[in-house]
Amino acid sequence: MSKGIIIAGAGRGLLFARLIAAANPVTRARSVENCLEWTQITSSTGMHAIDRHVAAIVDINAKNHPAIRRELDACGLSDTVIHLTLEQALSAIPPEQADTVMIVTPNATHAELTELALRHHRHVFLEKPIATSWDEVRRIAEAAANAPDRLVLPGFVLRHSAFYRRVKEICVAGSLGRIAMIQADERLALEHSISYRRGWRRKVAATGGSMNEKCSHDLDILCWLKQPEAVPTAVFSAGGQFLFASRDDAPATCPQCNDRSCPFRLTPEKLCGAEGSFKRDLGDADRCVYHTDADVKTDQSATILFSDGSQAVFTMLMYSGRPGRNLLIHGTEGMLEGDYESGRISVHNYRTGGELNYSIPSRRWHGGGDAMMLNDFFDSIDHDCVPISTLADGAAATRLALAADRSAEGKRLVALDEFAWPANCTRNSGNKHTVNQTIQKGESAI
Q: State the angle between helix axes of 134-145 and 391-410 in degrees (0 to 180), rounded to the nearest 10.
A: 170
Cα 271–Cα 275–Cα 281 angle in degrees, nearest 5: 65
Per residue in 102-122, pLDDT tens?
999 999 999 999 999 999 999
Per-residue model confidence (pLDDT) at position 108: 95
The arithmetic mean of pLDDT across residues 327-335, rounded, is 97
Per-residue model confidence (pLDDT) at position 311: 98
Per residue in 202-227, pLDDT tens?
999 999 999 999 999 999 999 999 99
The arithmetic mean of pLDDT across residues 54-68, rounded, is 95
Of 234, 407, 375, 243, whose CA–CA distance to 306 is shortest? Answer: 234
Residue 361 has pLDDT above 90, yes or no: no
Q: Which of 11-20, 216-225, 252-261, 356-365 has the lowest mean pLDDT?
A: 356-365
Per-residue model confidence (pLDDT) at position 446: 26
Of 205, 68, 26, 142, whose CA–CA distance to 421 is shortest? Answer: 142
Average per-residue pLDDT for the chain: 89
For residues 75 and 7, give the distance between their C-alpha atoms in angstroms, rounded to a whole number.
15
| 3-state secondary structure labels for all residues of 364-432 | HHHHCHHHHHHHHHHHHHHHCCCCCCCHHHHHHHHHHHHHHHHHHHHCCCEEHHHCCCCCCCECCCCCC
Residue 278 has pLDDT above 70, yes or no: no
Residues in Cβ contact with 305 at an 8 Å cutoff, skipping those fewer than 6 apart: 232, 233, 234, 235, 236, 311, 413
Alpha-carbon torsion 273, 279, 285, 290, what sign?
negative
Cβ-in-10-Å burial (0-12, 13-18, 19+) of 3 comes to: middle
Identify the three-state secondary structure at position 349. strand
Yes or no: say if 285 and 266 are a contact pair by the CB < 8 Å rule: yes
Q: Which of 24-38, 102-116, 238-252 has the lowest mean pLDDT?
A: 238-252
For residues 429 and 386, give the distance between their C-alpha atoms in angstroms, rounded to a whole number.
6
Q: What confidence tier does 250 reach under pLDDT thresholds 50, 70, 90?
A: confident
Residue 333 has pLDDT above 80, yes or no: yes
The arithmetic mean of pLDDT across residues 16-43, rounded, is 91
How many CB atoms lie under 10 A from the CB of residue 186? Answer: 20
Q: Which of 27-31, 387-391, 394-398, 424-428 has the lowest mean pLDDT?
A: 424-428
The arithmetic mean of pLDDT across residues 22-28, rounded, is 93
For residues 131 and 152, give the distance between their C-alpha atoms in angstroms, rounded to a whole number.
13
The arithmetic mean of pLDDT across residues 379-383, rounded, is 93
The arithmetic mean of pLDDT across residues 320-332, rounded, is 93
Yes or no: say if 237 and 407 are a contact pair by the CB < 8 Å rule: yes
For residues 52 and 157, give the distance between their C-alpha atoms in angstroms, rounded to a whole number.
20
Q: What confidence tier does 199 reach under pLDDT thresholds 50, 70, 90?
A: confident
Residue 191 has pLDDT above 80, yes or no: no
Give Cα 2 to chain centroid, integer Å. 27
Residues in Cβ contact with 298 at an 8 Å cutoff, skipping those fewer than 6 apart: 193, 196, 210, 240, 241, 242, 243, 244, 317, 318, 319
Predicted TM-score (pTM) of this structure: 0.90
What percent of the chain clears pLDDT 70, i.e. is strictly above it?
90
Yes or no: say if 184 and 312 are a contact pair by the CB < 8 Å rule: yes
Q: End-to-end distance of the chain based on CA atoms, in angstroms? A: 32
For residues 109 and 131, give the distance between their C-alpha atoms in angstroms, rounded to a whole number.
8
- All structural domains of the chain, each given as residue ranges with its CATH number in brackets, are 3-159+366-388+420-441 (3.40.50.720), 162-363 (3.30.360.10)
